[in-house]
Amino acid sequence: MKNQIAMIKLIPIILLSIACSENENPKPNIPEPEPIKPKEYSFKATPSWADEFDYEGLPDPEKWGYDVGSQNNGWGNNELQYYTEADPDNVNVGDGVLTITALREDMEGLEYTSARLVSKGKGDFLYGRFEVRAKVPPGKGTWGAAWMLPTDWAYGDWPASGEIDILEHVGYDQDVVHISMHTQAYNHSIGTQKTATKKIQNATTEFHTYRVDWTPAYIKGFVDDNEMFHFDNEGKGFGVWPFDKKFHWLLNLAVGGDWGGQQGIDEEAFPAKMEVDYVRVYDLQE
Residue 227 bears catalytic tag:
no
CA distance 222 to 216: 18
> How many Å separate Cα 20 from the centre of its chain?
41
Catalytic position from the list 34, 52, 131, 163: 163
> How many Å separate Cα 53 from the centre of its chain?
21
Reported as half-sphere exposure (CB side, CA atoms, 13 A), residue 87 has a value of 18
- Other Cβ atoms closer than 10 A to 99: 18
Residue 168 bears catalytic tag:
yes
Catalytic position from the list 168, 267, 275, 286: 168
Concatenate the DSSP letters of all residues of 246-285 into one string.
-EEEEEEEEEBHHHHTTT---GGG-SEEEEEEEEEEEPBP
User: Exposed (0-12), middle (13-18) or buried (19+): which is 18, by Cβ within 10 Å?
Assistant: exposed
Closest CA relative to residue 133, chosen from 267, 282, 274: 274
Catalytic positions? 163, 168
